[in-house]
Structure 1
Amino acid sequence: MFTPLRLPQRLLGCAALVWFVANAQAATPSPAPEALKPLLVTLNERLNIADLVALTKWDSGKPIQDSAREAQVIANAKALATERQLDPQAVGQLLAAQIEANKLVQYGLLAKWRAAGKAPDTPRPDLANQIRPRLDELQNRLLQQYADFLPFSKDPHCANWLTKARANLPQDRLHELALIRATGELCTADQPPA
């Protein structure tokens, strides 16, 4: 026989079960989008070129900071962004982050080489004729991959995706920190307060 006292208990039990299942699903992060991996590979590849740039700066004695070149790279990226119907300001910030990350690697390597009294004895490619064209090609690829990833940038799980996806890319602590800086503009979701 069904009594009126058991009905509310059953309803409460069902409601608690529904609440538990809903919260368990909400707590499970969604998987990273496929667009993230190629973007991070390109960003990492761009950072590895910083090693070659550092060698050319070591040999030439030129400063790492090249404000005119940086402004030119950012302006070119903004122009490409407009052509590709991307937000030029966001793309400018993305490229500025890449430049800062690249300089972080260069400063770190030059400091290490100064402490050792020498740089590695490896072939030096030409900055203007070999390295910069490679960086320009990477910039084109980067903008396409950024456009592919952009719909996911506001996802609340974006920062977690980046943390996990970055884990196996860098070769050392310096490049790891630089990759963190390079990806700093990718997630635009409001982060919960710590």
Structure 2
Amino acid sequence: MFRCPRLPQVLACSLFGLLASVAHAATPSPAPETLQPLLNTINERLDIADLVALAKWDSGKPIQDTARETLLINNARKQATGSNVNPDEAADLIAAQIEANKLVQYGLIAQWQAAHKAPDLPRPDLTQLRAKQDELQARLLQQYAAFVPYRVDPECPQWLAAQRSDLIKDALHGQALIRATGELCITDL
């Protein structure tokens, strides 16, 4: 009968090498430094949605504001050229932010309607909030421009999920943050 005493050792070394390469492939590379500032700005914009909801609760204004949304998207297209961003991508990014903000507003107002009251907090001025949103939009587009080269990286969804999870404060804002960042990574080339 044929025996090869070294065969188990060769197999063990091969298996160890295979496992090491799989473990290395499963360890994602660190996220680019441009991602966290972008996510922080998106999250800051979502925090403003809470205040906008309060202002709209008090004023009775509807959440949907088509004229304001159109203005923001058109401004994003104009700002995109100065930020070296594709105008259509800038419009999509800002549209996602608007939808995420409305998600928060609808959710909070529904909670307040069920409770028959809004929180007892200082009431914001909607005009000042909009000025802050405009400032954030300019910063958001600059940060997005810095992140664009990483959008197609195969590890982008893992980076996004890991860094986004640290920002989630509750289910409503978590869903809104997912909506706001849903198209940051391009996975279907």
Superposition deviation, residue 145 in structure 1: 0.9
TM-score, normalised relative to structure 2? 0.89
Hey, what's the Cα distance between the residues in 2 that align with 1:62 and 1:97?
21
Query: What is the identity, as a one-letter code, of the residue corresponding to 1:26?
Result: A
**What residue in structure 2 maps to residue 105 of structure 1?**
104
Superposition deviation, residue 11 in structure 1: 9.1
Hey, what's the Cα distance between the residues in 1 that align with 2:31 and 2:81?
27
Hey, what's the Cα distance between the residues in 2 that align with 1:58 and 1:83?
36
Hey, what's the Cα distance between the residues in 1 that align with 2:11 and 2:121?
71
1:149 is paired with a residue whose SS is helix
Conservation of the 8 A alpha-carbon contact between 1:156 and 1:190: no
Count of residue pairs brought into register by the alignment: 186
**What residue in structure 2 maps to residue 179 of structure 1?**
177
Query: What is the identity, as a one-letter code, of the residue corresponding to 2:133?
Result: L
Superposition deviation, residue 66 in structure 1: 0.7
**What residue in structure 2 maps to residue 78 of structure 1?**
77
1:30 is paired with a residue whose SS is coil
Conservation of the 8 A alpha-carbon contact between 1:29 and 1:157: yes
Superposition deviation, residue 25 in structure 1: 2.5
Q: Which consecutive residues of structure 1, in runs of 5 or more, have no partner in the other structure?
A: none
User: Which structure 2 residues correspond to residues 87-166 of structure 1 after superposition, within 5 A?
Assistant: 87-128=86-127, 130-166=128-164
Superposition deviation, residue 148 in structure 1: 1.2
Hey, what's the Cα distance between the residues in 2 that align with 1:161 and 1:28?
11
Hey, what's the Cα distance between the residues in 2 that align with 1:73 and 1:190?
28
Hey, what's the Cα distance between the residues in 2 that align with 1:122 and 1:71?
30
Superposition deviation, residue 170 in structure 1: 2.3
Hey, what's the Cα distance between the residues in 1 that align with 2:84 and 2:40?
23
Query: What is the identity, as a one-letter code, of the residue corresponding to 1:138?
Result: L
Query: What is the identity, as a one-letter code, of the residue corresponding to 2:63?
Result: I
Q: Deviations over 1:137-180 (max 9, x none)?
A: 11111111111111111111111111111112122110011000
Q: Which consecutive residues of structure 2, in runs of 5 or more, have no partner in the other structure?
A: none
**What residue in structure 2 maps to residue 51 of structure 1?**
50
Hey, what's the Cα distance between the residues in 2 that align with 1:137 and 1:173?
27
Hey, what's the Cα distance between the residues in 1 that align with 2:12 and 2:162?
37
Superposition deviation, residue 125 in structure 1: 1.6
Shift in CA distance, 132/11, structure 1 to aligned 2, threshold 3 Å:
same
Conservation of the 8 A alpha-carbon contact between 2:50 and 2:108: yes
Superposition deviation, residue 17 in structure 1: 6.3
Superposition deviation, residue 23 in structure 1: 3.6
Superposition deviation, residue 120 in structure 1: 1.0
Superposition deviation, residue 26 in structure 1: 2.2
Hey, what's the Cα distance between the residues in 2 that align with 1:45 and 1:24?
36
Cα RMSD for the two superposed structures? 2.2
